[in-house]
Amino acid sequence: MIPSQRDLFDIPRDRVYLNTAYMGPTPKSAIAAGQESYAAKGQPWAYDVQQDFFGLPEQLRECAARLFGAQAGEIALVPSASYGLATAARNLAPQKRSEILVLDGQFPSNVYVWRDLAEQYGARLVTVKRQPGQGWTQALIRAIGPATSIVACPQVHWLDGGQLDLAHISNTARRQGAALVLDLTQSLGALPFDMAAIQPDFAVAAGYKWLLGPYSTGLLYVAPHHHDQGEPLEQNWITRQGADNFARLIDYTDAYAPGARRFDMGERSAMQLIPAALASLDQVLDWGVGAIAQTLADRTAAIAAAAAPLGLADDMVERAPHYLTLGLPAGAPDDLLARLAARNIHISQRGDRLRITPHLFNDDTDIAAFADGLRAVL
């Protein structure tokens, strides 16, 4: 168990922030790194080309690889989860009349791209629904069959917090010859990821939620068999071999830098963002993802226990340990979130469920204040 890390964040004592799934607060160390990097842009003559253009992005790639359980050369730096998913779609070609599977209520960025790909290739987009009392894993496993060409799913469903058994899903998909594309935005950094057991084709995560980083910093894992002939979304100079020799950039080449680097976004060096993202990942790795998951499981259990007497049910099947969604009781006010916000309590509502997602900055005082706030507004 990790003790409260509130002193590492700029969160006032009277503020109860239980909304990491919406946006993770950036640690003070990352804020300081970001402020320093923004100030450095005022004196661009001081940039070190090798370190700032190439060294820092490679450090971020190495940290990301540790989170994925991958090699640094298997990681691409992208600006968003949608960019990573579009990269995956660019490099997959489903057969005509085959099926691309997505989950009911899946995040829009992980639906639109597959809808377009299905239309392009004459495939069929199939939305997998779960029955009452059924987990997402069972529902998806039952939907995978000989016609399946792509399985596109999260590790944790953003609406209800349901966790998927990705190793089981991967094994089932591979037996049918289907590609596996994962959106880990609501899990990477808060839930262990077993790369050896799961072996996805592509896996992406936005950096601003559970990775506690700035906006426009995303991470994309690309399996090695997609590297050599892979097609990036954009053609830019910095992903080519020899890009670090600025004097010879007009020696145009078709050769890419090795591994997944060919899929990197343009302006990947992002001097105003990379240092902050790197500081945030360093902090997450220092805590350890397993320890984070164990600690947040304790936090969500305590919150669920405090909310239960008020009629809010923790009834999600196979819930992720860091992710709590509670069914609203009958008669709950329509402006419940606004009433809680007026009391400095911040959560989300998705559909008819409250989404409560704590992190290491939360403590018993926050849980008590949340319960008191619920009693006052319900």
Q: 339-367: per-residue pLDDT in tens?
A: 999 999 999 998 889 999 999 999 999 99
When pLDDT is cut at 50, 70 and 90, the band that residue 331 belongs to is confident
Residues 310 and 199 in one domain: no
Residues 199 and 101 in one domain: yes
Domain count, the chain: 2
Last residue within a domain, chosen from 255, 286, 317: 286
Residues 90 and 224 in one domain: yes
Residues 297 and 373 in one domain: yes
Residue 150: Cβ within 10 Å count: 25
- For residue 80, being part of any structural domain is answered with yes
Residues 119 and 186 in one domain: yes
Q: Which amino acid is at 34?
A: G
C-alpha dihedral sign at 287, 24, 265, 44? negative
Range of the domain at 240: 34-286
Residues 337 and 209 in one domain: no
Residues 309 and 238 in one domain: no
CA distances from 190 to 21, 43, 204, 304 (A): 10, 37, 15, 18
The CATH number that applies at residue 351 is 3.90.1150.10
Residues 282 and 326 in one domain: no
Q: Is the pLDDT of residue 59 over 90?
A: yes
- For residue 1, being part of any structural domain is answered with no
Residues 52 and 139 in one domain: yes
Residues 164 and 306 in one domain: no
Residues 257 and 365 in one domain: no
When pLDDT is cut at 50, 70 and 90, the band that residue 266 belongs to is very high
When pLDDT is cut at 50, 70 and 90, the band that residue 330 belongs to is confident
- For residue 322, being part of any structural domain is answered with yes
The CATH number that applies at residue 244 is 3.40.640.10
**Which residues in the chain belong to E strands, given as ranges?**
16-17, 75-78, 99-103, 124-128, 148-154, 179-183, 202-206, 218-222, 324-327, 345-346, 348-350, 353-356
Residues 261 and 160 in one domain: yes
Last residue within a domain, chosen from 254, 286, 318: 286
